[in-house]
């Protein structure tokens, strides 16, 4: 379980995350939604300790992230950031191997090699494993970074816009994969996502932010309501029930 208590982060006296408290339960998919600049990425970075909050605290399974040694935290929680740049030329397999670093300190074991191959298979990257990352398309590169996070084999995965650069097929596959990680392996997945319909179809819980504040939290049935979505996005979104899922219609 992730517990966020009274977290605030300010830049130049403006609170971009403003007194946010929430509880993310173990073993599900939680989507963080909201307009651009709402503070979603900042909150995710604070949860993973990439950024220190000005006030407030975050605990993961009772561990205070501020006081937990980095190596211990890296075995509990993996994060995929939005801006992934490589300064060295690596093959996909080598990149995925970096995910094992918290476990092996750079000396891969037999188990590490297994986890790397599993992650490559999960992300449909086996055929590309020996290619250099800088030779891949944006979507293939995105999958390679997610495979690296998966190889870290943590209970918690935090993903900042994992559907970036993915086409429809790979977006659906990614969301199904995230569900399998929770349903079959018991992992806890927290993602920042723009597409409210993917959030609706694949999440157990949705956290909605705007202007640094947490506006709503609840299951898709509660968040996918025209008045709730208007409160978050300030536009009219019609809801249709399709095959048991609530779909927001906002294209015209």
Of the residues 21, 25, 37, 226, which one makes contact with ligand ADP according to CB under 6 A: 37
Angstrom distance (rounded) from CA 69 to CA 80:
19
Give dist(CA 196, CA 201) in Å, integer.
9
CA distance 224 to 231: 11
Span near ligand ADP by CB under 6 A; candidates 33-41, 91-99, 129-137, 149-157? 33-41
The reply on whether position 39 binds ligand ADP by CB under 6 A is yes
Is position 162 an interface residue for ligand ADP (rule: CB under 6 A)?
no
Query: Looking at beta carbons only, is 13 or 87 nearer to ligand ADP?
Result: 13
Q: Which of 30, 31, 42, 140 binds ligand ADP (CB under 6 A)?
A: 42
Check residue 34 for interaction with ligand ADP (CB under 6 A).
yes
**Smallest distance, Å, CB 161 to ligand ADP?**
8
Burial of 66 per CB tally in 10 Å (0-12, 13-18, 19+):
middle
Judged by CB under 6 A, which of 41, 164, 188, 203 binds ligand ADP? 41
Integer Rg of the chain from CA:
18
What six digits make up the tokens of 15?
């609170």
Q: Can you spell out the DSSP letters for 185-236?
A: T--EEEEE-S-HHHHHHH-SEEEEEETTEEEEEE-HHHHSSHHHHHHHHSS-
- Verify binding: residue 30, ligand ADP, rule CB under 6 A: no
42 versus 188: smaller Cβ distance to ligand ADP: 42
214/208 Cα distance (integer angstroms): 6
Scan residues 7-26 and list those touching ligand ADP (CB under 6 A). Answer: 11, 16
Interface with ligand ADP (CB under 6 A): 11, 16, 34, 36-42
């Amino acid at each position: 379980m992730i517990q966020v208590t009274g977290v605030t982060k300010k830049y130049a006296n403006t609170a971009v995350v403003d007194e946010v408290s929430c509880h993310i339960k173990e073993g599900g998919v939680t989507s963080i939604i909201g307009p651009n600049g709402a503070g979603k990425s900042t909150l995710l970075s604070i949860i993973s300790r990439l950024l220190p909050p000005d006030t407030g605290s975050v605990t993961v399974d009772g561990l205070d992230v501020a006081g937990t040694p980095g190596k211990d935290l890296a075995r509990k929680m993996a994060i995929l950031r939005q801006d992934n740049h490589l300064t060295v030329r690596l093959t996909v397999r080598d990149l995925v191997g970096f995910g094992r670093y918290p476990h092996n300190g750079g000396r891969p074991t037999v188990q590490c090699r297994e986890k790397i191959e599993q992650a490559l298979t999960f992300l449909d990257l086996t055929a590309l494993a020996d290619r250099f990352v800088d030779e891949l398309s944006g979507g293939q590169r995105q999958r390679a970074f997610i495979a690296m996070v998966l190889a870290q084999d943590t209970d918690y995965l935090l993903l900042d816009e994992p559907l970036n650069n993915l086409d429809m097929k790979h977006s659906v596959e990614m969301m199904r994969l995230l569900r399998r990680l929770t349903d079959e392996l018991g992992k806890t997945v927290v993602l920042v996502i723009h597409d409210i319909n993917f959030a609706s179809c694949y999440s157990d819980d949705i956290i909605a932010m705007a202007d640094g504040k947490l506006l709503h939290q609840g299951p898709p049935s509660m968040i996918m309501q025209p008045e709730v979505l208007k409160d978050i996005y300030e536009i009219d979104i019609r809801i249709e029930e399709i095959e048991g899922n609530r779909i927001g219609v906002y294209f015209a």
